[in-house]
Amino acid sequence: MNSLDFSIVWQALPYLLHGLAFSLQLTVFAFLTGLGLGIVLALVRHLKVPVLAQLVVGYITLIRSIPLILVLFWFFFLVPILLTPFSVDGRPIPVGAGPTAFVTFSLFEAAYYAEIIRTGLRSLNKGQFEAAAALSLSTFKTYRYVIIPQVIRVVSPILLTQTIILFQDTSLVYVLSVVDLTGAAVKIAQLNGKLVEMYLVVALVYLAICSTASQAVAMLRERQMRTVRTR
Please indicate, yes or no, if residue 3 is contained in any of the structural domains. no
Asked whether residue 13 is assigned to any structural domain, the reply reads: no
- Residue 7: inside a domain, yes or no? no
196 or 114, which is more confident:
114
Q: What's the CATH number where 192 sits? A: 1.10.3720.10
Strands (E), the chain: none
Report CA-CA distances (Å) from 71 to 78, 91, 107, 161, 202. 10, 22, 10, 22, 25
Question: How does pLDDT run across 51-78, given as a tens digit for each residue?
Answer: 999 999 999 999 999 999 999 998 888 8
CA distance 34 to 27: 10
Give percent of the chain above pLDDT 90: 49
Domain assignment of residue 6, yes or no: no
Q: Is residue 97 part of a domain?
A: yes
Q: Which domain holds residue 100?
A: 18-230
Average pLDDT, the chain: 88
Is 5 among the domain residues? no
Number of domains present in the structure of the chain: 1
- The answer as to whether 179 is a domain residue is yes
Over range 92-114, report the average pLDDT: 92
| pLDDT single digits (tens) 122-174 | 888 787 777 877 887 888 888 888 889 889 988 999 999 999 999 999 999 98
Q: Length of the chain, please? A: 231
Residue 106 has a CB neighbour count (10 Å cut-off) of 20
Helix axes 195-230, 13-46, angle to 10 degrees: 40
- The sign of the torsion formed by the CA atoms of 16, 22, 27, 32 equals positive
Residue 157 belongs to some domain of the structure: yes
Region of poorest pLDDT, from 25-34, 143-152, 177-186, 190-199: 190-199
Instruction: Rounding to the nearest 10 degrees, give the CA dihedral for residues 174, 177, 182, 184.
Output: 180
**Quick check: 176 and 26 in contact, CB under 8 A?**
no
For residue 229, what pLDDT band results from cuts at 50, 70 and 90? low
